[in-house]
Amino acid sequence: MSHIHIPDGVLPVWLWAAGWLAALAVVYLAATVSKRSDVRRKVPLLGVVAALMLVSMSSEIVPLAYHVNLTVIAGVLLGPWLGIIAAFIVEVVLALLGHGGVTVIGLNTLVVGGEIVLGWAFFRLCVRMLGRTRVGWATGIATVLALAISTTALVGIVALAGGGAATGRETGALDPTNLTFANPFGAGVFSVNTLRGEGTVPAEAAKAPDGGLSVARFAAVVFTLGPIGWLLEALIQAATLGYVARVRPGLVFGGALSVRARTLPSHEAVR
Amino acid sequence: MDIRAIDVSATMGRSGLHRAAPVTKLAAFALVLGAVVTQMNALVVLALLLALAALAVGSGLRLRLVFGLAAYPGLFAVVFAYAAAPDPVTGALFVCKAVTAALAAVTLVCTTPYPQVFAPIQRVVPEIVGDALLMTYRSVFLLAEKFDRLRTAVRLRSGLSARMPLRAARASASALGGLVLYALDLSQREYDIMRVRGYEGRLRVTLPRSASPAFDAALLAAAAALFALALTFRVAGAALTPYSWLPPAASLLALTAAVLWRLNRR
């Protein structure tokens, strides 16, 4: 549920623009840190793990409007810095496929990237506490905790966007007459007039207190459906990572980059 | 998300949109997106949606693919609208915006091969991000194919039946685990290949020129007109609200013409 499925033009401009700026700053930082060593090996690894997340996200659990993210697995395999870059790549591709808005790529990168970083941190903590034999439990706990926090962040974003009546009917709209984000028409250009074909908005209607995004209702829906999704995702990721830990434990406890690179048969000759 | 079908549509199509320069299409997409973001009048957003639908129909795109993909975010928008919209009309606006923006994005990717879509993005992001973006899309095809095969194998060998949920879950988890391992081996193989080919930290994609500059200009002008329409209704909303039905009516006419033209071509 952490991935923001909010359409373009619903969140205020200042919010998604700030999200873009913050995400780009974090991605540039992550790229700078990641570039310090062995970039050539990281590029294909990033590509396949991001692709893995995309493939998993393409299967939706319809009644819950939920899809598996594999963020904790991505965090365990890639680590925090590459994980943030993977989150950005996944969001860009998803937005181009129409799944998620282009304007919310920045916020989505922060939320999903945060989920990857938290998943990685919680997993390592749980492994330290529970031991290496309980990878499934560690993954499950890390997944539920990371998803709970990122979902709360999602609700926080919606609260920032439209808790008050001021942003209710002007969500996402820049006022080009004065280049501010305030609503020049009060409440109701759209919903009062559009379908009735009336003229100007009565002053009483313009000052109607209602009109903001319903944060309480949104939180109620998200925190009702969300935990079912968290549990499903925890089970799937725990079983998957448990299997990987049994077959190739080095990948799980050291990350995908810890496995030594193969040497090409003709490597010496190439040099 | 049938990414393989999108790729076939992007590379095999022969419409005017396919021949347009990728940069022009990206600029047109940005203008339409700007219109969607700016506009809060549901009828004007509906007009944008119908205009894009007319473009998709007129370009001979696979309608089931394009509209299916565009409708997908609508499902999430319905949940969001139910959860957060203050009234049903605003909820309908949210859904309309989601589907319109998605249709614009899907029209772009269904008419432009992915390296050309990513090339301009690749030039403004750090090298590792731009290159990984290209590698991701390539890997998606390989992993999706492998995932399909694994699902078939699990169904044949273990049986994904509701009668034995534990066994089915165990088999599915093993399949997913196998996919993770396959993905990591794939990355190692790709790394080997890139080394052999002399990869030094930048994949270069050249952008093709337009086959028809006149079509490019028309496309850009149409997108600019949509943006101007949205902006006009936004600035002079109170005065223009009684005429909100005009843009969707015009778009509906365009859509009807596109449908008739497509039917006649068959």
pLDDT digits (tens, 9 = 90+) for A38-49: 777 888 899 999
**Res B25: pLDDT:** 93
Chain B residues 41-100 with CB within 8 Å of chain A: 41-43, 69-70, 72-73, 75-77, 79-80, 82-87, 89-90, 93-95, 97-98
Q: Give the chain A residue nearest B135 (alpha carbons).
A: A47
Whether the pLDDT of residue B104 is over 70: the answer is yes
Is residue A154 a part of any domain in this protein? yes
- Whose tokens are 């089915």? That residue is B168
Give the pLDDT score at A177: 45
**Which residues on chain B are in Cβ contact (under 8 Å) with A210?**
86-87
Per-residue model confidence (pLDDT) at position A117: 96
Q: Which of B32, B41, B80 to mutate to test the interface with A (most CBs of A within 10 A)?
A: B80
Q: Which residues contact B151 (CB under 8 A, 6 or more apart)?
A: B175
Is B54 inside any structural domain? yes
Please tell me the predicted confidence (pLDDT) of residue A194. 38
* Pair of tokens at residue B108: 């772009």
Question: Cβ separation of B79 and A65 shorter than 8 Å?
Answer: yes
- Residues of chain B with Cβ-Cβ distance to A168 below 8 Å are 86, 90
Q: Indicate if B242 and B144 belong to the same structural domain.
A: no
The mean pLDDT of B14-21, rounded to a whole number, is 86
User: When comparing pLDDT for A83 and A98, which is higher?
Assistant: A83
* 3-class secondary structure, B14: coil
Longest dimension (CA), chain B: 67
| Residue A177 belongs to a domain | no
**Per the domain annotation, does B201 fall within a domain?**
no
Cβ distance A102 to B33 less than 8 Å, yes or no, reads yes
Q: Which chain B residues contact residue A107 at CB under 8 A?
A: none
| pLDDT at residue B188 tops 70 | yes
Nearest residue to A236 via CA among A70, A112, A124: A70
Instruction: Tell me which chain B residues have a C-beta less than 8 angstroms from the C-beta of A187.
Output: none
Residues B164 and B245 in one domain: no
Interface test with B, best of A66, A84, A97 (most B CBs within 10 A): A97
Distance from CA of A83 to the nearest CA of B (A): 11
Q: Are B109 and B2 in contact (CB under 8 A)?
A: no
Cα distances (Å, whole numbers) of residue A204 to A71, A207, A256, B202, B210: 48, 5, 62, 60, 54
Give how many domains chain A has, as a whole number: 1
- Please check whether residues B111 and B133 belong to one and the same domain: no
pLDDT band at A68 (very low <50, low <70, confident <90, very high): confident
Q: A169 lies in a domain?
A: no
Burial readout A31-45 (b: 16 or more C-beta within 10 A, e: otherwise): beebeeeebebbbbb
B 8-37 near A (Cβ less than 8 A): 33, 36-37
d(CA B149, CA A187): 54
For residue A48, being part of any structural domain is answered with yes
Q: Is the pLDDT of residue B243 over 80?
A: yes
B95 with B79: CB under 8 angstroms?
Answer: no
**Which residues of chain B have a CB within 8 Å of the CB of A86?**
132
**Strand (E) or helix (H) holding B83:** helix B63-84
What residues contact A41, with CB distance under 8 A and at least 6 apart? A257, A261, B191
- A195 located within any domain: no
| Total tally of structural domains belonging to chain B | 2
* Residue B185 covered by a domain: yes
- Residue A7's nearest CA partner among B118, B29, B103, B55 is B103
Nearest to A199 among B187, B234, B241 (CB): B241
Give percent of chain B above pLDDT 90: 29
Please report the pLDDT score of residue A238 as a whole number.
Answer: 92
- Contact residues, chain A, for B82 at CB < 8 Å: 221
For residue A83, give the chain B residue with the closest CA.
B129
Between CA A251 and CA A240 the distance in angstroms is 13
The pLDDT of residue B29: 95
Q: With 0-12 CB in 10 A as exposed, 13-18 as middle and 19+ as buried, what is B236?
A: exposed
A195 pLDDT more than 90: no
Same domain, B141 and B53: no
Is residue B72 very low, low, confident or very high in pLDDT (cuts 50, 70, 90)? confident
Judgement on whether residues B79 and B17 belong to the same structural domain of the protein: yes
pLDDT-based confidence at residue A203 (cuts at 50, 70, 90)? very low
What phi-psi label fits residue A255: left (phi over 0), alpha (psi between -120 and 50 degrees) or beta?
Answer: left
Looking at chain A, the whole-number percentage of residues with pLDDT higher than 90 is 32
A85 to B129: CB separation less than 8 angstroms, yes or no: yes
Whole-structure pTM value:
0.82
Q: Are residues B51 and B92 in the same domain?
A: yes
Residue from the list A51, A158, A191 with its beta carbon closest to the beta carbon of B136:
A51
Task: Show the domain range for B239.
Answer: 3-118+208-265
Q: Has residue B202 been placed in a domain?
A: no
pLDDT tens across B43-53, in order? 899 999 999 99
Cα–Cα distance for residue pair A48/B81, rounded to 1 Å:
34
Residue with more model confidence, A37 or A150: A150
Residue in B128, B134, B143 closest to A85 by CB: B128
Residue B104 within any structural domain of the chain: yes
Tokens of A199: 């003229």
- Report which of residues A267 and B219 the model is more confident about: B219
CATH code, A64: 1.10.1760.20
Whether A132 is covered by a domain: the verdict is yes
Q: Which stretches of chain A are DSSP H helices?
A: 13-34, 39-57, 71-78, 80-96, 105-130, 135-162, 203-206, 215-247, 249-254, 267-270
Quickly list DSSP for B96-162: HHHHHHHHHHHHHHTTS-HHHHHHHHHTTS-HHHHHHHHHHHHHHHHHHHHHHHHHHHHHHHT---T
Sign of the torsion angle spanned by Cα atoms B30, A154, B77, A64 = positive
CA distances from B130 to A55, B114, B157, B202 (A): 20, 12, 40, 8
CA–CA gap between residue A243 and residue A76 (Å, rounded): 14
| Residue B78 located in a structural domain | yes
Closest Cβ–Cβ partner in B42, B106, B137 for A190: B42
**B99 & B7 share domain:** yes
Question: For all residues of chain A together, what is the average pLDDT?
Answer: 76
pLDDT at A169 over 50: no
A223 part of a folded domain = yes
Residues sharing a CB contact under 8 Å with residue A267, sequence separation 6 or more, in sequence order: none
Expressed as residue numbers, the domain containing A126 is: 13-163+213-257
Largest separation between any pair of C-alpha atoms in chain A: 82
Q: Which residues of chain B lie closer than 8 angstroms to A242, CB-CB?
A: 173, 177
Residue B98 and residue B9 share a domain: yes
Residue A262 confidence (pLDDT) above 60? no
pLDDT at B266 over 80: no
Beta bridge partners of A61: A66
Cβ neighbours around B209 below 10 Å, total: 10
